[in-house]
Amino acid sequence: MSQGVTNVISAVRGESSKWFPAAVFCCSFAGVFVVVAVVETESEPEVLALADVGRLLADLRRLVAGVDVGDFGPDELRELTSDVRAGQQALDGLLIRIGMAAEHHHEKGRGRGAEGVLLGDGRAVRGSTARREAARSRTASRFGRLADAVNAGRLGGEHLDVIARAAATLSDEQQQELTSEALVETAVSEPIDVFNRWVRREADRIKGDHGLADTKARQAASGWKHWLDEKTGMGQISASFDPERYEAIITRVDHQLARLANAGGVQKNANLAARAAFELLTGKAVGGAGVPHINVVVDWETFVNGAHDYSVRETCGGHELPPESIARLGCDATIQRIVLDERGVPLNVGRKYRTATDAQWQAIRAVYRTCAWSRCNRPLAWTQLHHIHEWECGGCTDLCNLIPLCNKHHHAVHEGGWSVRLRPDRRLDIYQPDGEFLATARPDRLGRRSRRQGKRRSAVAEPAQPGGP
């Protein structure tokens, strides 16, 4: 990577530099284009004159425009992407601070407020973007700890979106408990989707109802509407369901979709899914619609004695359910026991077949929400079970030889030259076609179980790894 690019990235990230700005802000306010920059030196920060800022911005634009990513190899592209993401988070934080300052002035009767300043003349961003950024600024302003974390570059816009959604369900006193130092540390150490689940569970813990109030609110907010689009001539359906009913519906549609795909020898696609839904709704599905069902993953302690701090009580798609819903569903359910070893890994529950049995799929659902590939969030329903040691080469259909892969990553292993190695604790090592190691992925549900055990043993969690193709 060229030194110029490194300097640009260091400038955006706020790292020490004698001539690049640690922070640059450009906006249109009241029709006047304003540029402000602060340079970090070995002594006190220096506020630059407008002419100096113009020169630095010109250099910055020139250097960025001159980056030829075609000259970079895969490792350099990953490094550059990581730096750019860090720079984006720093700039997001700067916009949040701008919004906080603009809102402060607006409260004193000066200026247009956060939304007006962030929108500018409307040429650079849409109104919805400015409103989202203004909402992030207000979230940070309400909690001093969040504002400090934003100023330090530890929290970005997506983190604040997650916090705002959870805080909206809490009282003012409960919101202060949510925004603890543990929240900031989790945001820094975990991927955003893991952080999202952590915040939701923390909000449930603070409310003390394990999500019951939220579940009732989602049930009450469920709705259905339909209309004919005069422009396209297509009928449109829009529906919202609480997680339990949503999973019952999509599970039924996914089963019918798989049946149609297998019968026709074709790949699953959106058109075939529409046909599956139509056949189910109109009673034309072979064998009838059947009884709607939902697969729920719950630990035995929760099932028998109720929720605890480390309960696992969620649908296969990862949507958490309150203990009351678990108890109701358990009244008329087929309960399958999945025995886990001391690491939380399912023991073998079937073999002698090339294709995985229903029992093996149930065991996989107890550990995975998504494709097993690093940072892939495609749902488990979209995956196929891949044999690490191929069946044709003597591999068995046991859990120790099976991982769920989405269509993209399944093709990457079979036709793309990528390779994987499954460890006994179900961590998956991923290797590029040239044999170079890429990342280690851990099943998300197993990751939670390991973190739970880690807390009990005061163990240190492993750092997150980068993704793949």
Q: Where are the beta strands (DSSP E) in 332-393?
A: 383-387
pTM: 0.58
Q: What pLDDT is recorded for position 453? A: 47
Please answer whether residues 298 and 338 qualify as being in contact, where contact means their C-beta atoms are separated by less than 8 angstroms: no
CB 360: neighbour CB atoms within 10 A? 21
Report pLDDT digits (tens) over 419-437: 999 988 889 999 999 888 9
Q: What pLDDT is recorded for position 340? A: 61
Measuring CA to CA, how many Å separate 358 from each of 105, 112, 203, 341, 385? 62, 60, 35, 20, 12
CB 152: neighbour CB atoms within 10 A? 12
How many angstroms from the chain centroid is the CA of residue 196? 7
Q: What pLDDT is recorded for position 356? A: 67
Q: Where are the beta strands (DSSP E) in 235-392?
A: 235-240, 296-298, 313-315, 383-387
Measuring CA to CA, how many Å separate 283 from each of 212, 279, 287, 344? 34, 6, 9, 41
What is the rounded distance in angstroms from the CA atom of residue 57 to the CA atom of residue 51? Answer: 10
Q: What pLDDT is recorded for position 224? A: 94
HSE on the CB side for 423, CA within 13 Å? 11
Q: Which of 343, 294, 345 is nearest to 319 (CA)?
A: 294
In the numeric block, which tokens belong to residue 166?
Answer: 């959870």
Q: Which of 240, 224, 237, 174 is nearest to 202 (CA)?
A: 174
Q: What pLDDT is recorded for position 287? A: 58
What is the rounded distance in angstroms from the CA atom of residue 356 to the CA atom of residue 403? Answer: 11
Tokens 């292993």 -> residue: 413
Q: Which of 323, 325, 332, 319 is nearest to 302 (CA)?
A: 323
Which residues lie below 8 Å from residue 164, measured CB to CB, with a gap of 6+? Answer: 135, 136, 139
Q: What pLDDT is recorded for position 350? A: 41
In the numeric block, which tokens belong to residue 285?
Answer: 């599905």
In the numeric block, which tokens belong to residue 209?
Answer: 């109802």
Measuring CA to CA, how many Å separate 148 from each of 41, 64, 228, 361, 401? 22, 30, 50, 46, 47
CB 210: neighbour CB atoms within 10 A? 24
Secondary structure (DSSP) of 394-453: T---SGGGEEEEEHHHHHHHHTS--EEEE-TTS-EEEE-TTS-EEEEE--HHHHHHHHHH
In the numeric block, which tokens belong to residue 284?
Answer: 């034309």
Dihedral of CA atoms 468, 186, 161, 164 in degrees, nearest 10, equals 160
Output the CA torsion sign for 343, 345, 351, 355.
negative
Q: What pLDDT is recorded for position 244? A: 87
DSSP class of 340: B
Question: How long, in residues, is the chain?
Answer: 469
φ, ψ for residue 438 (rounded to 5)? -105, -60
Tell me the sheet residues that pair with 379: 370
Please answer whether residues 388 and 395 qualify as being in contact, where contact means their C-beta atoms are separated by less than 8 angstroms: yes
Q: What pLDDT is recorded for position 272? A: 92
Given a cut of 50, the residues of the chain with pLDDT beneath it are 1-43, 45, 289, 349-353, 449-467
Tell me the sheet residues that pair with 404: 385
Q: What pLDDT is recorded for position 87? A: 76
What helix, strand, coil percent values describe the chain, rounded to 5? 50, 15, 35
